[in-house]
Structure 1
Amino acid sequence: MHSPGRAAWMIAVAAAAAFLATFNETFLNVAFTPIMEDFNVDVNTVQWLTTGYLLVAAVFVPVSNVLYHRFPTRPLFVAVVAIMVVGSVVGALAPTFSVLLIARLLQAIGTGLLTPIGMNITLAVSPREKLGLNMGIMAAMTTLGPSLAIVLSGALLTVAPWTTLMWVFGGLTLIVLLAGAIALRNVAELGRQVLDILSFLLVAVGLVGILYGVSSAFSGTALYAGVSAVIGLLALWMFVIRQRRIEHPLIDLRPFSSAPFVFGVLMTMLGLLFVFAMNVTIPLFLQAAHGMAPLGASLALAPGILLTVVMGPVAGRLFDRHGGRWSIPLGFLIMAVFVTLVGVAAGYSSILLFALLYIPAVLATAFVIGPSQTFALSHLDRETSPHGVTVVSTSFQIAGCVGTSLAAGIYGALTTANLNAGNNEFDSLLTGFRGAVVLVVVTSLIGILLAFLAYRSAQSQRSTDTAQSPENTVESIMKSDVYALSSDQTVLEALQTFAERGISGAPIIDTDGSLAGFLSDGDVMRYLSAAHPSSTSIYSYAIGADEDLEQAMSDLAGLNVMKLATHDVLTIDVGSSIADAVAAVSDAHIKKVPVVRGENGQVVGIVSRSAINRLAIAGYLHTRGEAPQMADATAR
């Protein structure tokens, strides 16, 4: 177990590593033109600096799980980052394009290994109640990386040659290497993990085949693209069969048996596809159609990118408290609406309007990518979580490659087709850009559907888990004899109920039986201190000093409970795990949480912090062989 301070430093290092890994995916994109001039290569050749990078990173992600459980965390982390440092130095000094490409592939190996290692570190050291927040930070870093890289590289290229980008990245990775060497400790359960070479080759051929097929589908080589994709699919099919037959699979496929995990991964990929697709097409369109310089086109993305960094942890915190049942589909909807408006604004001359409309579109990805990732991994147990991380990390690279290739391919194909049809250049470029917009709008709408299916599957899984092991759910520790208030009662009547029942708060039930709010004695105290400060304390009655409270009590006798109640009540489903209950009371800093059943939200109980504490103490004493002589944990 690590101290909170140590855990925070380890998560910070993991987040920095995730940022650098994804930052480098697009860092050289703006430098393609000077690289082409220096090495005398064409655009189809130079684009392999990005496509090849993504392909190799995707191939090495599955290997990370074997290495993570084979070697201590700190030396493994340092070694992986060192590979990226070496790749940066080789790239900066590269005498030919081939050497530069090899350097990029070395960096890609580091990226493929580093992202899942960082996520595993975060999962291992994060308290359960802060998992959404910390994964939100990780998601913000992975979203910020490829976006901010375009802006920073554009700025650097205005004052320095493209080789400066390699030196700058090398310096940043060296800083992270040193930070990891100082802050990290071993967090993995080590064993004699075996790397199955045939499995590695099959997944490599599978991913490279599929991703190469997608990337080359719009380049005029449809036959080669189709053959490549078919070979890739066959290799992946053979990979899956092998994983089920060997003793030490490269990827444990058990996470795929969880429908919520699968839906969560798909939603994460759709959010990332949006980011990568817009990151490549917006600078291309603004430079070609509006004649903007690379830096200016990149700066159009900057406000939304920077705000997304702030919004990522906020979205994670909201997920911790309320889940993502409505925030994830709402995020997809905002993405679809505002990127449509961006497509409309693209036909006008105002770049400011274009940039302003893009801000809410990219901000909405913070409510999709991080929460979807957390949703997926939270439905796995400790044993399968590392394999889930491997799948999620692989999906990052796949989404990046697919998003970049599809958007750029559609943009280029539609632009060329319109130019060949005799349309003017601006209209042709606009048509190409709007084609890419249609792509991300369609994928966002699919995301909304997946979000509702995901939470339906999660509820179904929870019901199954409850039927199988009810002793591990909230129902086993909740107080079912609920003392509730009605929405037409006065505050003074509520205080009388508190005194008679010996409770400090109660849910408020509306006339239709639904939960309307929650009132606690703390809510009443805060009102009295503000409205009747001379009353000082309701406990004055206990010592006979009741004169100052007469007016206050008269006020409470005419005040409806809903005036002081909390309306946005945090609730927990009866089938939720005890771990979810712990997260609810600790994260929200409250004593009691109403327990509801199903979609109608009918209150069936109350789970309190004291009940959880008694359960924890009883469990501890039981492990020591001491039978606790105490009241039942479900008592008040």
Structure 2
Amino acid sequence: MIAVAAAAAFLATFNETFLNVAFTPIMDDFGVDVNTVQWLTTGYLLVAAVFVPVSNVLYHRFPTRPLFVAVVAIMVIGSVVGALAPSFTVLLIARLLQAIGTGLLTPIGMNITLAVSPREKLGMNMGIMAAMTTLGPSLAIVLSGALLTIAPWTTLMWVFSGLTVVVLLSGALILCNVAALGHPVLDIPSFLLVAVGLVGILYGVSAAFGGAALYAGISAVVGLVAMWMFVIRQRRIEHPLIDMRPFSNAPFVIGVLMTMLGLVFVFAMNVIIPLFLQSAREMSPLGASLTLAPGILLTVVAGPLAGRLFDRHGGRWSIPLGFLLMAVFVTMVGVAAGYSSILLFGVLYVPAVLATALVIGPSQTFALSQLDRETSPHGVTVVSTSFQIAGCVGTSLAAGIYGSLTASNIRAGNSEADSLLTGFRGAVALVVITSIIGIILAFLAYRSKRPVEAAQHPENTVESIMKTDVYTLSAEQTVLSALQTFTERGISGAPIVHPDGSLAGFLSDGDVMRYLSATHPSSTSIYSYAIGADDDLAQAMSDLASLNVMRLATRDVLTIDASSSIADAVAALSDANIKKVPVVRGENGPVVGIMSRSAINRLAIGSYLSSRDELLHPVGSGSHS
């Protein structure tokens, strides 16, 4: 079932960029300009964004298997209609049908994974889902470029319809119902308001670059009014389409905005680079897609690594660094576009797109980590919707700037090649500006996080239950003296600190045992003395007496801040499958405590017993003789 869900996530995101490389031949076939053709992506993402919140209602109202099959069937129909489309209008309608499937399918697949995954494998399975949603749009560009070298663009629609049929049959055979079914109600006015709002705002942005300033202004105003009415309605109805409570959390909002800015970069460049290379450099679709391929495929590998980096060290420096690298290297790509070397162009784009791995996933994690258990599901809906909206904005703005600057330069008498270069550099300037905004937001995010944490209930922080009597080791100690400390204090491991109190590493008796088993096989236990292995033990201990603790220590130590919530501590210990974690105060700050599973267990049991006692013996009650 998880494999089917992962395939569905891959399929949905794969189709978001599958047609990007085909924009040039589609423009030639239907006689449309870049501002019009970009709606094949913008409209797709827009409709998907509208239907993401709807998926939660449908998932809890209809059995999983028939719902899954019906949603994928919509995508099959859209693909066949698109392949046979006699006009651009019909092709756009077909893409919007596919988008309905995408908006519903991705969250349904995530819900299936959450429902069937064992707790100890949830992180791995969700990681698979994340990898599939990242691999989808990346692989789509490469595959579509290869297909377009040997077949017309309509082949893409037929290939996608074949893939959707395979997933449909797999779901029909494998899936079973996993949702707790009820009778949730879809609030139609809310659905219509958010649809009108998003369409109005995004059409206004697109029309502004097309020269229709009046229509753009009217559309944008209508969209903003509809969104304002949508927000008001969500706060008044019992079952809102999107719960607004997460928006009262400033760090969450900033985290969502940072995620969206990273996605704007990706979608803008995925549209503009193939257009520019095919139009200005007369490259084939395959050549254009292969220029993008190394960077975006490496991002699939970099994403999990960046997530692990965030888990261990937070995003205080990595997120702004990611935005900075995006700005610097995409600027260099804009400069390289004026030269003849495509190799230089492609090489410079690799670090630019790799830097998005430091931004998108970590920013999303930062945003969701700011919410409590009650509001987290609503935060997931907000983040999922923001993904699609960011894709719309990035595609629409980049294509609009590229098209309008190119057209204005041609009208001014410049050559077509120079005009296309100016349009491309205008789109590059857009993502540089958004990256600079991202740097500012990254610093604001962590500045806003600290007061929020301090203002929260202090009894719910790590500091309130951590063990403050911490036995530490010096980075200059020997392993034998560390073992002596373990024996005297009755502990199995301890943090190693520098002279200034900052964390240098962590040493456990397990680290020592692994070393002994490799270097002194007969002394795999320091208690071998008990079975008469005197000589072996003496030799092993002599070795440990001259060995520095940092030789065996774990240097890349997972830590948690003293002001973090207990929920964060639970997640850290569970995800890393460890029993205790050093507590520090501030980034790279001193070790101030140890957080353990046993402390959390005592808190949980104590809270339960206290609440049970209050229930059995309410305050003010008494016995009567």
Whole-angstrom distance in 1 between the partners of 2:370 and 2:112:
18
- For residue 5 of structure 1, what is the aligned residue in structure 2? none
Do the aligned residues in 1 keep the contact of 2:43 with 2:392 (CA within 8 Å)?
no
Whole-angstrom distance in 2 between the partners of 1:402 and 1:313:
26
Whole-angstrom distance in 2 between the partners of 1:136 and 1:458:
26
- For residue 486 of structure 2, what is the aligned residue in structure 1? 498
Residues 524 and 608 (structure 1), Cα distance of their counterparts in 2 relative to 1, 3 Å cut: same
- For residue 193 of structure 2, what is the aligned residue in structure 1? 202
Q: Does 1:70 align with 2:58?
A: no
AA of the residue aligned to 1:178 = L
- For residue 358 of structure 1, what is the aligned residue in structure 2? 349
- For residue 607 of structure 1, what is the aligned residue in structure 2? 595
Match of 1:278 among 264, 269, 273: 269
CA distances 1:455-502 after superposition (whole Å, capped 9, x unpaired): 3434444434442xx2x5444553332222233433222211111111
Q: CA deviation at 1:282?
A: 0.9
Whole-angstrom distance in 2 between the partners of 1:41 and 1:355:
28
Do the aligned residues in 2 keep the contact of 1:120 with 1:386 (CA within 8 Å)?
no
Match of 2:560 among 569, 572, 582: 572
Match of 1:176 among 157, 167, 179: 167
Match of 2:337 among 337, 343, 346: 346
Q: CA deviation at 1:218?
A: 1.1
Q: CA deviation at 1:430?
A: 2.4
The 10-residue stretch of structure 1 (91-100 or 72-81) with the greater mean CA deviation from structure 2: 91-100
Whole-angstrom distance in 2 between the partners of 1:605 and 1:407:
49
- For residue 434 of structure 2, what is the aligned residue in structure 1? 443
CA distances 1:365-416 after superposition (whole Å, capped 9, x unpaired): 2232223223323333444334323322221222112111211222223333
Q: Does 1:455 align with 2:443?
A: no
Match of 1:266 among 254, 257, 267: 257
- For residue 166 of structure 1, what is the aligned residue in structure 2? 157
Q: CA deviation at 1:535?
A: 5.0
Alignment of structure 1 residues 214-229 onto 2, 5 Å: 214-229=205-220
Whole-angstrom distance in 2 between the partners of 1:164 and 1:418:
35
Residues 528 and 50 (structure 1), Cα distance of their counterparts in 2 relative to 1, 3 Å cut: closer
- For residue 407 of structure 2, what is the aligned residue in structure 1? 416
Match of 1:517 among 505, 511, 517: 505
Secondary structure at 1:593 match in 2: strand
Match of 2:583 among 583, 586, 595: 595
Whole-angstrom distance in 1 between the partners of 2:526 and 2:43:
71
Q: CA deviation at 1:296?
A: 0.9
Q: CA deviation at 1:532?
A: 5.1
Whole-angstrom distance in 2 between the partners of 1:466 and 1:394:
31
The 10-residue stretch of structure 1 (250-259 or 533-542) with the greater mean CA deviation from structure 2: 533-542
The 10-residue stretch of structure 1 (500-509 or 131-140) with the greater mean CA deviation from structure 2: 131-140
Match of 1:113 among 79, 104, 111: 104
Whole-angstrom distance in 1 between the partners of 2:368 and 2:174:
25
Match of 2:475 among 468, 487, 500: 487
Residues 568 and 258 (structure 1), Cα distance of their counterparts in 2 relative to 1, 3 Å cut: same
Question: How many residues matched?
Answer: 613
- For residue 543 of structure 1, what is the aligned residue in structure 2? 531
Do the aligned residues in 2 keep the contact of 1:26 with 1:149 (CA within 8 Å)?
yes
The 10-residue stretch of structure 1 (64-73 or 528-537) with the greater mean CA deviation from structure 2: 528-537
Secondary structure at 1:195 match in 2: coil
The 10-residue stretch of structure 1 (226-235 or 410-419) with the greater mean CA deviation from structure 2: 410-419
Whole-angstrom distance in 2 between the partners of 1:536 and 1:106:
64
CA RMSD of aligned residues (A): 3.0
Do the aligned residues in 2 keep the contact of 1:132 with 1:316 (CA within 8 Å)?
no
Q: CA deviation at 1:360?
A: 1.9
AA of the residue aligned to 2:200 = G
Match of 2:286 among 275, 288, 295: 295
- For residue 61 of structure 1, what is the aligned residue in structure 2? 52
- For residue 556 of structure 1, what is the aligned residue in structure 2? 544
Q: CA deviation at 1:578?
A: 4.1
AA of the residue aligned to 2:238 = E
Do the aligned residues in 1 keep the contact of 2:149 with 2:284 (CA within 8 Å)?
no
Secondary structure at 1:216 match in 2: helix
- For residue 629 of structure 1, what is the aligned residue in structure 2? none
Secondary structure at 2:582 match in 1: strand
Whole-angstrom distance in 1 between the partners of 2:124 and 2:188:
37
- For residue 8 of structure 2, what is the aligned residue in structure 1? 17
Match of 1:316 among 307, 316, 321: 307
Q: Does 1:85 align with 2:76?
A: yes
Q: CA deviation at 1:616?
A: 6.9
- For residue 620 of structure 2, what is the aligned residue in structure 1? none
AA of the residue aligned to 2:251 = P
CA distances 1:283-317 after superposition (whole Å, capped 9, x unpaired): 12212222211221111111122222223333334
- For residue 395 of structure 1, what is the aligned residue in structure 2? 386
Residues 420 and 595 (structure 1), Cα distance of their counterparts in 2 relative to 1, 3 Å cut: same
Match of 1:233 among 224, 233, 239: 224
Do the aligned residues in 1 keep the contact of 2:462 with 2:564 (CA within 8 Å)?
yes
Secondary structure at 1:576 match in 2: coil
Whole-angstrom distance in 2 between the partners of 1:603 and 1:560:
20
Residues 348 and 194 (structure 1), Cα distance of their counterparts in 2 relative to 1, 3 Å cut: same
CA distances 1:340-373 after superposition (whole Å, capped 9, x unpaired): 2222222222211211221222122223222322
With the length of structure 1 as denominator, give the TM-score of the two structures: 0.87
Q: CA deviation at 1:514?
A: 2.6
Whole-angstrom distance in 2 between the partners of 1:189 and 1:490:
57
CA distances 1:604-627 after superposition (whole Å, capped 9, x unpaired): 3223345556667888999999xx
- The percent of aligned pairs where both chains have the same amino acid is 85
Residues 129 and 531 (structure 1), Cα distance of their counterparts in 2 relative to 1, 3 Å cut: same
Do the aligned residues in 1 keep the contact of 2:35 with 2:403 (CA within 8 Å)?
no
Secondary structure at 1:53 match in 2: helix
Whole-angstrom distance in 1 between the partners of 2:391 and 2:20:
13
The 10-residue stretch of structure 1 (178-187 or 325-334) with the greater mean CA deviation from structure 2: 178-187
Whole-angstrom distance in 2 between the partners of 1:376 and 1:559:
44
Q: Structure 2: state its 5+ residue gaps.
A: 614-625
Whole-angstrom distance in 2 between the partners of 1:600 and 1:311:
24
- For residue 336 of structure 1, what is the aligned residue in structure 2? 327
Whole-angstrom distance in 1 between the partners of 2:341 and 2:222:
46
Do the aligned residues in 2 keep the contact of 1:411 with 1:436 (CA within 8 Å)?
yes
Q: CA deviation at 1:452?
A: 2.9
Whole-angstrom distance in 1 between the partners of 2:578 and 2:27:
60
Whole-angstrom distance in 2 between the partners of 1:135 and 1:311:
16
Q: CA deviation at 1:169?
A: 0.9
Whole-angstrom distance in 2 between the partners of 1:528 and 1:280:
57
Residues 618 and 188 (structure 1), Cα distance of their counterparts in 2 relative to 1, 3 Å cut: farther
AA of the residue aligned to 2:336 = A
Residues 147 and 218 (structure 1), Cα distance of their counterparts in 2 relative to 1, 3 Å cut: farther
Q: Does 1:507 align with 2:495?
A: yes
Secondary structure at 2:208 match in 1: coil
The 10-residue stretch of structure 1 (355-364 or 380-389) with the greater mean CA deviation from structure 2: 380-389
Secondary structure at 1:94 match in 2: coil
AA of the residue aligned to 2:189 = L
CA distances 1:123-146 after superposition (whole Å, capped 9, x unpaired): 555667776655554444334333
AA of the residue aligned to 1:235 = A
Do the aligned residues in 1 keep the contact of 2:141 with 2:293 (CA within 8 Å)?
no
Secondary structure at 2:494 match in 1: strand
Residues 416 and 388 (structure 1), Cα distance of their counterparts in 2 relative to 1, 3 Å cut: same
Whole-angstrom distance in 1 between the partners of 2:566 and 2:171:
34
Alignment of structure 1 residues 234-249 onto 2, 5 Å: 234-249=225-240
AA of the residue aligned to 1:500 = E
Q: Structure 1: state its 5+ residue gaps.
A: 1-8, 626-636
AA of the residue aligned to 1:181 = A
CA distances 1:498-551 after superposition (whole Å, capped 9, x unpaired): 111111111223322333322222233344445555755432333343223434
